[in-house]
Amino acid sequence: NFMLTQPHSVSESPGKTVTISCTGSSGSIASNYVQWYQQRPGSAPTTVIYEDNQRPSGVPDRFSGSIDSSSNSASLTISGLKTEDEADYYCQSYDSSTWVFGGGTKLTVL
Amino acid sequence: EVQLVESGGGLVQPGGSLRLSCAASGFTFSSYWMHWVRQAPGKGLVWVSRINSDGSSTSYADSVKGRFTISRDNAKNTLYLQMNSLRAEDTAVYYCARERNWGQGTLVTVSS
């Protein structure tokens, strides 16, 4: 079964840039789209990146997504960090017609 | 505006049943595959089930296969999850979702 692996946690200071990785277990991560979800405590997930690198309306351009085929990984980069970006972030892709999630990364902005 | 509103959660005893509903609005419900995703307390997101746009094809996580049934009523713009033989490990917030949109979730607690 296809799996996605994320770092458990990352931390960075306000105003800095952070990148969260999401590594596929097999095959090519570039074969299917990757989405990224933000989940603040006590709230439902919201989409910050879809189809690898697309931002929904209302998501600031400080959020960007990319794919690196050489490392079979996707990345979420957040620049100009704000305290409001502190949240859990999940990557999601596909295995056949099912969704596969990474384990989530807790971003601390300190 | 896309809206997904779940309902039907609550406290149920082990071995019991519950049916979750998800009312959809703001988009052409009958055109979209829909999913259920759950999140146990303090844990990550786990995909549970999906159904295609006309309800003719479904898929389930191994952990719920044979116990949960996903269905939809396109005339009512509503997605369902029938949960039988519930276990303590099914305790979670259940979200309905489509590509890019999530509901607010409904809490299911399985406990005696």
pLDDT value at residue A97: 84
Q: How far is Cα B110 from Cα B112, in angstroms, rounded to an integer? A: 7
In this complex, how many residue pairs, one in chain A and one in chain B, have their CB atoms less than 8 Å apart?
A: 48
User: What average pLDDT score do residues B5-24 get?
Assistant: 98
**How open is the CA angle A44-B29-B17, to the nearest 5 degrees?**
60
Confirm or reject contact between B38 and chain A (CB < 8 A): no
Length of chain A: 110
Question: What is the percent of chain B where pLDDT is above 70?
Answer: 100
Residue A23 has pLDDT above 90, yes or no: yes
Model confidence at A27, pLDDT cuts 50, 70, 90, reads confident
Please name the residues between 35 and 74 in chain A that touch chain B, using a CB distance below 8 Å. 35, 37, 39, 44-47, 50, 56
DSSP SS3 for B44: coil
Confidence of residue B99 (pLDDT cuts 50, 70, 90): confident
Picking from A16, A43, A34, the residue whose alpha carbon sits closest to that of residue A108 is A16
Cβ contact, residue pair A98, B46, below 8 Å: no
Please tell me which of the candidates A97, A98, A104 has its beta carbon nearest to residue B44: A104
The dihedrals phi and psi of B9, each to the nearest 5 degrees, come to -70, 170
Between the CA of residue B54 and those of A80, B29, B85, B100, what are the distances in Å? 44, 10, 27, 20
Confidence of residue A78 (pLDDT cuts 50, 70, 90): very high
Q: Which of B47, B50, B96 to mutate to test the interface with A (most CBs of A within 10 A)?
A: B47
Give residue-wise pLDDT tens across range B30-67.
999 999 999 999 999 999 999 999 999 999 999 999 99
B26 pLDDT above the threshold of 90 = yes
Span A44-75, pLDDT tens digits: 999 999 999 999 999 999 999 999 999 999 99
pLDDT at residue A30 greater than cutoff 90: no
- Is A45 in contact with B95 (Cβ distance < 8 A)? yes
